[in-house]
Structure 1
């Protein structure tokens, strides 16, 4: 499974526990792609990043059109955070966020001075945990890939004033649930990345390295809901001919690429939606959003047969999707980590790494909200009165941003 930023066969986004990130070339070979956290920090330190809001300097002009967004088009910083990613809004409109050191906090965005209350902390990973809040008010946190025994690849319930409770070891489950679509010779690799709570107390987990969607019950029992099949894509022209002396496939070559399930949300229609990052060569415009029938088990999300079975394609044409949120009337909001693809950023071809917030409507039509405003965004959710909350950037000093 491919991962960048720690997502799959590539060491978690290049910042995972592996010493290097490995990208499948689709022909049985591999190319090493290395990116240190220091380089990520350097990328974020460019003059176009504002410390308070992580906004691109020219964003105000870029936001003039609003990209289909009908509220305030310019993101406003709510609170400053360190490497924020997970974002979840509870029934009362309070926002739960996860930071790079594993801290889970509750943000109350009311009045002139937002209040922040620390709820607890889970083991830190290469990137901040994903978070979710159930209707009953239970807060869940999901750690990403890491070494066994460190608390990585684990689902927790966060309990204020008490230690977090382990609900399930996702890594252990994946050892007995190999990925049939693996292209990396590591079918039991795991990197739990996306999280959504269900009304019955269970939660959905998108495993980027496992290329699948899991359902975890309160007692820790896990079932595989759906698997993402590979897609044949064209190698983009922007990639170099070689990396570290290893040749890359030529531009235009058609090769298989893993889906990389990074994100999950429950739609207003009750269906479960899963977003893809897209593995090597991370061709722009090849990330999909899948719509899965609730209660499904072992469904297959197949780009060759996108309109059959319990998993069907909701949208196509996106790039490097890392989070999803549900809006009204079947709308889905998707966060793109880097609009030109995560791989082009990892190879140093994109500076600054501008991501995007995309509004996707039933039928697949889409528009970008506040274009040019987000550097390496990692999370999104919808608050009261249609407000949108976005966490960015996922590395270094960042903020929780509000639109609307």
Structure 2
């Protein structure tokens, strides 16, 4: 199947990203020197009310705090991934983690208290196994004749399929009532964790359709009969943030290869918490791996494969700053924070528009 679990997609697509069409020059913005570097895959970050920066070193299974005294290891889980992180106040942090143990796969939300103790919040993997919210979505090829389907390589798959049971909690945000909302990159949904740990589905993101071109078919080994047909990719939500307007904003990096033939497929959606209504508000991003919402409603998007941070506002989307392989952005304390060079010397910088 031309699908991909989000973490795998991010890691394996970097080589392909190097050959993507060049991004348009960004607007003038000031990028600071690194606040910290040497980070192993800083895919997510959050900033506490006291200015402490919390970074998930996803490739090392660590959650790191960066304050005026330097860097401190908050959580270390070798062999597991720590992805989403949200600061709740002085020294209290919620994070998402997933991986595999002798007992099987796990996907959980946890909380670090001010005293350093780690407490479970919710088991989103179990919720996915029980509910599987995106089973309402149909992915894969649609409209192939039996003769054409027989020519499609087995590893790609010719038949459409409904959303499968798979969980990868990749981002988390905290609501004013103490609930957490989690973007599940493999579940293709946003779920809500109530203060008592009860989980419910907020919304399922729609499939991301792509029309197969001759160039793409040749590049990934598809037969000529698939040209002009549609393949519905999984949407893969990568971040969720609460806007001042009460809407959730979600970035999406659709599954499948980051091939130039697909173009810029990343998107940003708004989600109505009360109704679950999903609306695409911007698209055309080269790897939308994260977003932040400024106090004036401006949305900042990290384009991992575009090598830039872009903005979305009433005037549309436009580049803001060129930075190498940005993965996360966060607006806090009057500043825009970003992680950069996530496949090399991972760093945290600030950007001044």
Q: TM-score, normalised by structure 2?
A: 0.78
- TM-superposition CA deviations, 1:299-329 (whole Å, max 9, x none): 2xxxxxxxxxx33222222232111111121
Q: What is aligned with 1:383?
A: 332
In the alignment, which of 73, 93, 97 is matched to residue 118 of structure 1? 73
- TM-superposition CA deviations, 1:232-272 (whole Å, max 9, x none): 322356536154x6658756543322211111111132211
Matched, 1:164 2:118: yes
Unaligned runs of at least 5 residues, structure 2: 140-160
Cα–Cα, structure 1 residues 175 and 276, in superposed 2: closer, same or farther, change >3 Å? same
In the alignment, which of 41, 60, 63 is matched to residue 104 of structure 1? 63
Task: Write the mapping of 1:224-263 to structure 2, written as runs, cut at 5 A.
Answer: 224-235=201-212, 239=216, 241=218, 243=220, 247=223, 252-263=228-239
In the alignment, which of 17, 36, 61 is matched to residue 79 of structure 1? 36
Give the 3-state SS of the residue equivalent to 1:268 in structure 2: coil
Q: 2-side partners of 1:151 and 1:121: how far apart?
A: 18
Give the 3-state SS of the residue equivalent to 1:153 in structure 2: strand
In the alignment, which of 287, 295, 311 is matched to residue 278 of structure 2? 311
Q: What is aligned with 2:157?
A: none
Q: What is aligned with 1:273?
A: 249
Q: 2-side partners of 1:3 and 1:128: how far apart?
A: 22
Q: 1-side partners of 2:77 and 2:71: how far apart?
A: 17
**C-alpha contact 1:3 1:208 (8 A) present in aligned 2:** no
Matched, 1:201 2:178: yes
**C-alpha contact 2:74 2:116 (8 A) present in aligned 1:** no
In the alignment, which of 338, 342, 352 is matched to residue 394 of structure 1? 342
Q: 2-side partners of 1:388 and 1:235: how far apart?
A: 37
Q: 2-side partners of 1:329 and 1:87: how far apart?
A: 21
Cα–Cα, structure 1 residues 280 and 82, in superposed 2: closer, same or farther, change >3 Å? closer
Cα–Cα, structure 1 residues 122 and 85, in superposed 2: closer, same or farther, change >3 Å? same
**C-alpha contact 2:91 2:114 (8 A) present in aligned 1:** no
Q: 2-side partners of 1:292 and 1:241: how far apart?
A: 37
Q: What is aligned with 2:309?
A: 357
Question: When you count strand as a share of all residues, which structure comes out higher?
Answer: 2
Give the 3-state SS of the residue equivalent to 2:324 in structure 1: strand
**C-alpha contact 1:86 1:97 (8 A) present in aligned 2:** yes
Cα–Cα, structure 1 residues 195 and 148, in superposed 2: closer, same or farther, change >3 Å? farther
Q: What is aligned with 1:130?
A: 84
- TM-superposition CA deviations, 1:34-60 (whole Å, max 9, x none): x4xxx96x899x9xxxxxxxxxxxxxx
**C-alpha contact 1:121 1:164 (8 A) present in aligned 2:** no
- TM-superposition CA deviations, 1:95-143 (whole Å, max 9, x none): 11111322212212x6xxx722222234643x54221112576301112
Cα–Cα, structure 1 residues 211 and 158, in superposed 2: closer, same or farther, change >3 Å? same
State the superposition RMSD in angstroms.
3.3
**C-alpha contact 1:326 1:332 (8 A) present in aligned 2:** yes
Q: 1-side partners of 2:40 and 2:224: how far apart?
A: 35
Q: 1-side partners of 2:283 and 2:162: how far apart?
A: 27
Q: TM-score, normalised by structure 1?
A: 0.69
Q: 1-side partners of 2:177 and 2:127: how far apart?
A: 21
Q: 1-side partners of 2:225 and 2:168: how far apart?
A: 26
